[in-house]
A and B are shown apart, each in its own frame.
Chain A
Amino acid sequence: MFGSMSYLKQKRIIIFTFLLIPVALLLLFTYYPASKLVYFSFTSWDGYSPEKPWVGLDNYREVFLNPDIFGVFAHNFAYFIMGLVQNVIAIYFAVILNTRLRGKNVFRLLLFLPYIMNGVAVAFMFGYVFDTTQGSLNLFLNSIGLTHLSETSWLGTKGLVNYALASTGLWRFMGYNMVIYIASLQAIPSDIYEASKIDGANAWQTFWRITLPNMKPVIQLNLFLTVTGALEVFDLPFVLTKGGPAGASQTYVQRVVETAFAYNNYGLASAMSIILLFFVIFVVGAQQFVLSRGGSSK
């Protein structure tokens, strides 16, 4: 029956039926919550009362003026710093694994391994690594003679805990960046390298003048992913430290979840979410701008 209709008619039916449910789901679970979030953010709703008292911009003022809330971003900063280190290490391994090297596939396989591991299992695994008295890190430091370091409480010291957690993130995601960098290196035409060899360039010059400039768009992409990733950190500190000691490792998203679900302050939590959303959109917008400007090299 369907086959006997004109193609124009078929086309209309297909467009409508194929898009109906997926687009409805998209609107219901992405755009509808986002618009509700905007509305909640102007109220002091507690999450269950029928009335949602309008408070204007009070929630936004609270987020920006209360250093206790906005200051939480300082904890996310550690993840940004470690993310930068992660990218440098990933570029290094990608470059050496892109040369002729025996066993490079085995190294790539092992260095990427943490990425596919279950995040909660990884978090608990590192809880064990970082443990002060029984932890394997301190035992290891002790066995190589760094005894004064081996009594460190990695997850219990205020200035250290975020970097300890962020280094777990580095451990888990370095291989992911590395695989993307390897793919971008393989896309560089080999005749450029041959030409530079004929011109007598050494390995260092080749890296700075050819490899790095050709990787630029991918490096930018990964750096933006690092920024948005650092803004959105949640599960690692949530599972491993519950934000402790004394809130020192609480990240912004954790704070949002707590404000909404533990303190029933949905209005404030919504404003916090909207602000995070704007940060992420701003970062992605900047990324599009930077990438399209350098688009000719891509």
Chain B
Amino acid sequence: MIQTKTIANTLKYMTLLIGVFVVLFPPYVVIVNSFKADEEFNTGSTMALPESFFNFDNFKAVFERGGLINGFANTLTIICITLVFNILFGTMVAYVLGRFDFRLKKAIFALYLFATVIPGITTQVATFGIIKSLGLYNTMGAPIVLYIGADVIQIILYLQFIRNIPVDLDENAMVEGASLLRIYRSIIFPLLTPATSTLIILKSISIYNDMYTPYLYMPKQALGVVTTVLMRFQSLNLANWNLISAAILLILLPTVILYFFLQKYIFEGVASGAVK
């Protein structure tokens, strides 16, 4: 009995270790090569450790030639503006749909639910014309407006949360004469904070990782975001894998660091099933 248990546990650990090996193998190769000088890279094995982990030349080159700082700045700007509006509109819609009864409520609710089914990528062909006619093509407004308007996941997330806030709180405040605007601002909005923090984390990651929206709508070089900057850098340095490795690593680091600090919230957000 004890023996079978040991065998079972050994098997579990072996498969887990294989899984971890498969996960870490590609990043390992990127990490070791990002520290190698050209000659060292060309002569040695791709899998060997670098001569020194203090050779930051590749990273310096990426910053100087890749426009990476600009890319990070653009991405951060887009994320911040998008999040402000997402949080504002998300809580507002959830407040109205979650608390009041009115004639078009069911219809609007259905519009939001059905919108989650329509994959944004399929309507791109028509969306493109709309963005152009609004004069937003090749401006940061294009991705911002699309992340705010075409992605409705935050509304679904807030609607799930607002159900758990007791209506008694609203009613008590109304007895004391608080206006509805005040109830939204001082009761609903603060109590939706857990949903807001989930939204901030998951939405930041998804915007940071999005490629086709900036690629399609902001081809201008000055408007590069992390993904498009990386693509441009790769196409200009095709054979220099050590340089590209450094660029890949720099782009991976921010979300990986964020992940190690905020893992609890990320797991909760994913497990709640609200975000794809």
Nearest-neighbour CB distance to chain A for B125, whole angstroms, equals 5
Cβ contact within 8 Å between B23 and A128: no
Knowing A25-B149, A34-B123, A113-B259 are in contact, say whether A101-B12 is a contact too (CB < 8 A).
yes
A111 to B21, CA, bound (A): 10
Nearest-neighbour CB distance to chain B for A259, whole angstroms, equals 9
Cβ contact within 8 Å between A30 and B150: yes
Any B CB within 8 A of the CB of A121: yes
Tell me which residues from 170 to 224 in chain A have a Cβ below 8 Å from any Cβ of chain B.
171, 175-176, 179-180, 182-183, 203, 221
A118, A136, A228: the one contacting B255 at CB < 8 Å is A118
B47, B123, B130, B266: the one contacting A273 at CB < 8 Å is B123
| Closest residue on chain B to residue A283 by CB atoms | B117
0 or 1 for each of A234-261: is its CB under 8 Å from B? (1 = yes): 1100110000000000000100110011
Knowing A118-B251, A129-B29 are in contact, say whether A234-B96 is a contact too (CB < 8 A).
no
Cβ contact within 8 Å between A119 and B209: yes
| Closest residue on chain A to residue B42 by CB atoms | A134
Cβ contact within 8 Å between A30 and B227: no
| Closest residue on chain A to residue B255 by CB atoms | A116
Chain B interface mostly:
helix
0 or 1 for each of B222-266: is its CB under 8 Å from A? (1 = yes): 000011001100100000010011001001100110111001001
Any A CB within 8 A of the CB of B169: no
Chain A interface mostly:
helix
Knowing A22-B89, A36-B129 are in contact, say whether A110-B23 is a contact too (CB < 8 A).
yes
Knowing A19-B108, A110-B24, A113-B259 are in contact, say whether A120-B230 is a contact too (CB < 8 A).
yes
Any A CB within 8 A of the CB of B127: yes
A242 to B233, CA, bound (A): 16
Cβ contact within 8 Å between B149 and A29: yes
B47, B100, B124, B179: the one contacting A2 at CB < 8 Å is B179
A57 to B15, CA, bound (A): 53
Tell me which residues from 133 to 186 in chain B have a Cβ below 8 Å from any Cβ of chain A.
145-146, 148-150, 152, 155, 174, 177-182, 184
Any A CB within 8 A of the CB of B115: yes
Nearest-neighbour CB distance to chain B for A118, whole angstroms, equals 5
Knowing A120-B211, A128-B30 are in contact, say whether A253-B152 is a contact too (CB < 8 A).
no
Cβ contact within 8 Å between A119 and B227: yes
Cβ contact within 8 Å between B95 and A116: no
| Closest residue on chain B to residue A260 by CB atoms | B125
| Closest residue on chain A to residue B111 by CB atoms | A26
B20, B47, B126: the one contacting A36 at CB < 8 Å is B126
Nearest-neighbour CB distance to chain A for B211, whole angstroms, equals 5
Binds B, one of A8-16, A61-69, A70-78, A150-158: A8-16
Any B CB within 8 A of the CB of A262: no
A112 to B127, CA, bound (A): 33
Binds A, one of B52-60, B76-84, B268-276: B268-276
Nearest-neighbour CB distance to chain A for B103, whole angstroms, equals 10
Nearest-neighbour CB distance to chain B for A205, whole angstroms, equals 15
A23, A89, A117: the one contacting B111 at CB < 8 Å is A23
| Count of residues in B whose CB is under 8 Å from the partner chain | 88
A106 to B111, CA, bound (A): 41
Any A CB within 8 A of the CB of B122: yes
Any B CB within 8 A of the CB of A281: yes
A14 to B152, CA, bound (A): 20
| Closest residue on chain B to residue A107 by CB atoms | B16
A114 to B9, CA, bound (A): 25
Nearest-neighbour CB distance to chain A for B102, whole angstroms, equals 6
Q: Please, which residues of chain A bring their CB within 8 A of the CB of B256?
A: 113, 116-117
A34 to B96, CA, bound (A): 26
Nearest-neighbour CB distance to chain B for A247, whole angstroms, equals 19
A14, A96, A179, A180: the one contacting B184 at CB < 8 Å is A14
15 contacts between A and B (CB under 8 A): A3-B177, A7-B180, A11-B180, A18-B95, A22-B93, A30-B123, A108-B267, A121-B251, A121-B252, A134-B46, A139-B47, A238-B212, A276-B119, A277-B123, A284-B117
Q: Tell me the B residues contacting A by CB distance below 8 Å.
A: 8-9, 12, 15-16, 19-20, 22-27, 29-30, 33, 45-47, 89, 92-93, 95-96, 100, 102, 108, 111-112, 115, 117-130, 145-146, 148-150, 152, 155, 174, 177-182, 184, 205, 208-209, 211-212, 216, 226-227, 230-231, 234, 241, 244-245, 248, 251-252, 255-256, 258-260, 263, 266-267, 270-271, 273, 276
Q: Tell me the A residues contacting B by CB distance below 8 Å.
A: 2-3, 5, 7, 10-11, 14-15, 18-19, 21-23, 25-34, 36-37, 40, 47, 89, 92-93, 96-97, 99, 101, 107-122, 124-126, 128-129, 134-136, 139-140, 143, 171, 175-176, 179-180, 182-183, 203, 221, 225, 228, 232, 234-235, 238-239, 253, 256-257, 260-261, 266, 269-270, 273-274, 276-277, 280-281, 284
- Contacts A30-B152, A139-B47 known; list 7 others, CB within 8 Å: A7-B180, A19-B96, A30-B123, A118-B252, A179-B271, A270-B126, A280-B118
